[in-house]
Amino acid sequence: MRLTQYFLPLIRENPSEAQIVSHRLMLRAGMIRQSSAGIYSWLPLGLRVLKRVEQIVREEQDRSGAQEILMPTIQPAELWRESGRYDDYGKEMLRIKDRHEREMLYGPTNEEQVTTIVRDAIKSYRDLPKNLYHIQWKFRDEVRPRFGVMRGREFLMKDNYSFDLDAAGAKHSYNKMFVAYLRTFARMGLKAIPMRADTGPIGGDLSHEFHILAETGESGVFCDRRWLETELRADEVDYAGDLEAFFRQGTSLYAATDDVHDPTKCPVPADELITARGIEIGQIFHFGAKYSEPLGALVAGPDGEMLPLQMGSYGIGVSRLVGALIEANHDDAGIIWPESVAPFRMGLINLRPSDDKCRTAADDLYAKLRGAGIEVLYDDRDESPGAKFAAMDLIGLPDQLILGPRGLAAGSIEWKNRRSGARQDLPLDDAVQGFADKPLSRTAGEGGAHAAGVGG
Ligand code: 5CA
């Protein structure tokens, strides 16, 4: 993409309305614009990241055996009356009337909707288990929308719902998501800590929130100090195997949100306990028959008796993750995208577009990089070198290639890695090959350096 053609409205000054770094940088880097409180438009650069995050989430859901569907954003109030949640949900729910005065709502979550779909289709235990997910916009009329996409009113969530015959099956489904979430976040270079959590308006008796530690996190969290050195590796876990051992290992070190943390019962001595802030990027729930019973979602068991489906639900804040990723990956100059979610693999800067030789060489390199399948943002603007360096650092693409008249005369181009700051002159002819070897390697970055907002 040529920057002269791209819609990338950068902002030089820090926007006064933004209190945290990810919000500031998303506005400054032209990723989002606010429409009204907690409601945002996604501009081309921001949308590319959102889609990357969404795709990683999707791939890991698919790998776990969950199947993608798409349910509507607008739901009938009737559905929520059946489960008893219509009145309970309170002011967070946006209630709407259609032209026939029928009560509707903009979905804050989809337990009721999906339960009726499965109820009407599945009658026998033989058709279980099932796990259905969708990636859809939600609306919650939050009291205090803030921090940009971190606490929005309209936000993109991946939510899925598991249906099993019995408690053991439901726990296995829960464990699968426990694994899938760790895999998902690791692919984005994020260290997510699973924490015992309150079940809130979703309900149920077992829940974990996945947090990354960050000073700007909205949640108070407590965990065993050993978590700082512990890396839970879920990439080798076999979904077909017994997942309970992995779940036990992943929950063996204490970690809890402040809603459930009880200092009088905490097993960790005070000097081994960390009090920190966390960004909740996902939450999983097991709630058994809480929705299937009132909604009549029963199946015939092996002996012919009718049994309520045993369910769980699982959410990932897809749009929140974009903000969380920036909280974990930035420096004073701007964003530092992990490769796996970067909007473009690299930036190409032509320092002297008015010079024919530079323009021809940069155009040529741009064509070759694209020909090699590398996504490039090409700064072909007629701007000062300083403005170009600042813009490229701000938007944070993993690598930069910088072409100027001096290097060109020597047949070389400067390569700069955004994260390490390392610079090196490369022979111009080798530049394409050097990156063609890892064109779209969507591997994990090294997030977390800025996210360790750990208090004593
Ligand atoms: N039905 C369940 C699981 S599907 C559910 O709604 N869970 S939740 O309430 O925990 O939301 C799931 C995830 O969505 C959260 O972990 C968080 O990452 C994200 N999320 C929740 N509220 C917001 C919000 N106001 N803005 C941005 N992301 C949010």
Ligand 1 within 6 A of CB of 338: no
Ligand 1 within 6 A of CB of 280: yes
DSSP 327-366: HHSEETTEE---GGG-SSSEEEEES-TTSHHHHHHHHHHH
Ligand 1 within 6 A of CB of 315: yes
Alpha helices per DSSP H over 152-292: 167-187, 244-250
In this predicted structure, what is the pLDDT of residue 430?
86
Which residue minimizes the CA distance to atom 17 of ligand 1?
317
Alpha helices per DSSP H over 122-259: 167-187, 244-250
Q: Along the chain (456 residues), what's the average pLDDT of each consecutive run of 10 residues? A: 98 93 98 97 98 98 98 97 92 97 97 96 97 98 96 98 97 98 97 94 88 96 96 93 95 95 93 97 96 96 97 98 98 97 98 96 96 96 97 98 96 96 92 70 37 34
Ligand 1 within 6 A of CB of 157: yes
Pairing mode, strands 219-224 and 346-350: unpaired
Pairing mode, strands 399-403 and 255-257: unpaired
Query: Could you say which DSSP state residue 15 is in?
Result: P
Amino acid at 200: G
Ligand 1 within 6 A of CB of 159: yes
pTM for the model stands at 0.94
Which residue minimizes the CA distance to atom 16 of ligand 1?
282
In this predicted structure, what is the pLDDT of residue 451?
35
Ligand 1 within 6 A of CB of 314: yes
Q: Which of 320, 322, 325 gets mutated to test ligand 1 (max ligand atoms within 8 A of its CB)? A: 320
Ligand 1 centroid – CA 317 distance (Å): 5
Contacts of 181 (CB under 8 A, 6+ apart): 192, 194, 210, 282, 284, 314, 316
Ligand 1 within 6 A of CB of 140: yes
Which residue minimizes the CA distance to atom 21 of ligand 1?
317
Instruction: Report CA 299 to chain centroid distance, whole Å.
Output: 35
Ligand 1 within 6 A of CB of 392: no
Ligand 1 within 6 A of CB of 115: no
Ligand 1 centroid – CA 176 distance (Å): 19
Residue-wise pLDDT tens digits, 164-204: 999 999 999 999 999 999 999 999 999 999 999 998 888 78
Ligand 1 within 6 A of CB of 320: yes
Which residue minimizes the CA distance to atom 24 of ligand 1?
151
Ligand 1 centroid – CA 99 distance (Å): 30
Which residue minimizes the CA distance to atom 29 of ligand 1?
317
Whole-angstrom distance, CA of residue 257 vs CA of residue 208 = 9
Overall residue count recorded for the chain in this entry: 456
In this predicted structure, what is the pLDDT of residue 160?
97
Ligand 1 within 6 A of CB of 202: yes
* CB-CB contact of 314 with 282 (8 Å): yes
Ligand 1 atom closest to Cα of residue 282:
16
The secondary structure of the chain in percent helix, strand, coil, rounded to multiples of 5, reads 35, 30, 40
Ligand 1 centroid – CA 380 distance (Å): 40
Ligand 1 within 6 A of CB of 282: yes
Ligand 1 centroid – CA 274 distance (Å): 25
In this predicted structure, what is the pLDDT of residue 437?
64
Amino acid at 6: Y
